[in-house]
Amino acid sequence: MASINLIEAFQEFKDAENIDRPTLMKVVEDVFKTLLRKKFTSDDNFDVIVNAEKGDLEIIRRRMIVEDGEVMDPLAEIAYSDATKIEPDFEVGEELYEEVNIYDFGRRAILAAKQTLASRISDLKKNVLVKKYSERIGEIISAEVYQVWKKEVLLLDEDGSELILPKSEQIPSDFFKKGESIRAVVERVDLKNNTPVIILSRTSPKFLSKLLEIEVPEIFDGLIVVRKIVRDPGERAKVAVESFDDRIDPVGACVGMKGSRIHGIVRELKNENIDVINWTNNINLLIQRSLTPAKITSMDIDQETKHASVYLKPDQVSLAIGRRGVNIKLACELTGFEIDVYRDNEGEVEEFDIDLEEFSDEIEPWVIDELKRIGCDTARSVLDLTAEELERRTDLEKETIVEFLSVLKNEFEKE
C-alpha cells in the first residue's frame, strides 16, 4: 500500500503541467534525500536517479569495499565478506553500487514522503501560476465562464487555471452565462491563505487601452500614443491620444472610417460612449476638448488652485455636465482641474439640466425626436410642460407620456 501511495504522488509529479522538468526532478531528489538522512543520518553516499519520462526513480547506495575488520565508516565502506555475499566477483578497493529497496524505509516514512512530495508540487504549481500572471498584468486574456456567483465570476483559462472577475470589476450591464468566453484585463495577483488569486477587470482603463491597441494598428506600432484614459464603466469614457507622425490624425485613426474601429470597442464595453480627443499640454485647450461634446465660449483658469470656471451658452450647459454629471466628472479627472460650469455672460451657476439624448437607453429614439419637434431638447424643458399639453402638442399616447415623464423625474430626484 505504501508503494502504491508513493507511485500516485510521483505520477502527480510526472503529469504536472507548465513546470520545467529540472525543477521537478530537483524537488523529488530533495524529498528522497531527506528520507535517506532520516534513516541513515547522511545522504552523502546515495544517488537519487529520477526518470521524468517514465515517472519512476532509483536510489543507489555507493560503498567502498575494504578488508574485513577495517570498516571505519559503515555508511561509506563495506567489508569484503559482506560484499561477496552480494556479488562473488567483487574485490577489495572496488566500489559497490547497490539499489535501495523503497520498502526498506517503512510504510510510515513512505507516506510522509508522499505528503511532502504532493505539498512541494502544489507549491511549485502556485509559484508557476503567480509568475505567469505577474508577467501578464495589464494584458487582455480570454477565459471561459465556469461559475457565476453573486459577488464574482469564476473563469478558467486555456490551462484550466482559475481566475476571478469580481462584481466591482464588471461593467454594470455585464451578464455572463456558464460556458461563455469573455475578455478582460489581468488586474493583479493576490495571495489568499498562501493561494494565488488572479483578479481580472473589465472596468479598468487598462482594459480600454488594450482594446484600442488591438483595434488601432497605429497604437500597436507606436505611431499614436494613448496619453490618458478616464472611465465611468458602461456609461462614458474619455481617451486623450497624441500622434508622433504629423501625417496621422490620432482621433480619426482611433475612430476609423464611419466609426468602424471604435464601434467594436463600444460593443465590448456594453455601449459605453467613448470620446476620443487630441492630447495637448495647453491646459485651456485640453479643458475645452475634455468637455466634448459641449462647446465652450470662454474660461478663467487658476493654475495654483487647479480650478477652472467655464462659460457656455445655455443650450451647451447640459451637454457639458452630462447625465448624472458624468461628462464634467470625467473632464475633471482627465485634466486634473476642478471645473465649474456657468452660463455665458452670467455669474450664476446653471441650473442642472440634462440633454434628452442622454436618455436614449430608456426612452425610444422616435419619442425623443417627437419631443424635439416641439422644441424640447432637455429634460427640464419637457418637465416644464404638463402631460395634457404634451399630449395635445405631440402625436404621443398618454401612457407613453406618463412613462417618459416618470423616467425624467426620477433622474432629477436622484440628483
- Of 117, 102, 105, which Cα lies nearest the Cα of 27? 117
Task: Give 94's DSSP letter.
Answer: P
Burial tier of 50 (Cβ tally within 10 Å: 0-12, 13-18, 19+): buried
- CATH fold for the domain made of 2-132: N Utilization Substance Protein A; Chain:P; domain 4 (3.30.1480)
> Is the CATH number of domain 142-203 2.30.110.10?
no
C-alpha cell at 23: 525543477
List b or e across 366-379, with b for residues whose CB sees 16 or more CB atoms inside 10 angstroms.
ebbebbeeeebbbb
Q: Please give the pLDDT value at position 4.
A: 41
Q: Please give the pLDDT value at position 227.
A: 95
* Residues 6+ positions from 73 with CB-CB distance below 8 Å: none
Query: pLDDT by residue (tens digit) across 65-106?
Result: 888 878 787 777 888 888 888 778 778 878 888 777 777 777
Q: Please give the pLDDT value at position 351.
A: 60
Residue ranges of the chain with per-residue pLDDT less than 50:
1-7, 347-350
List b or e across 337-354, with b for residues whose CB sees 16 or more CB atoms inside 10 angstroms.
bebbbbbeeeeeebeebb
Strand segments (E) across 279-336: 296-302, 307-312
Q: Please give the pLDDT value at position 110.
A: 74
Q: Please give the pLDDT value at position 2.
A: 40
Domain ranges of the chain: 2-132, 142-203, 356-414
C-alpha cell at 66: 575494504
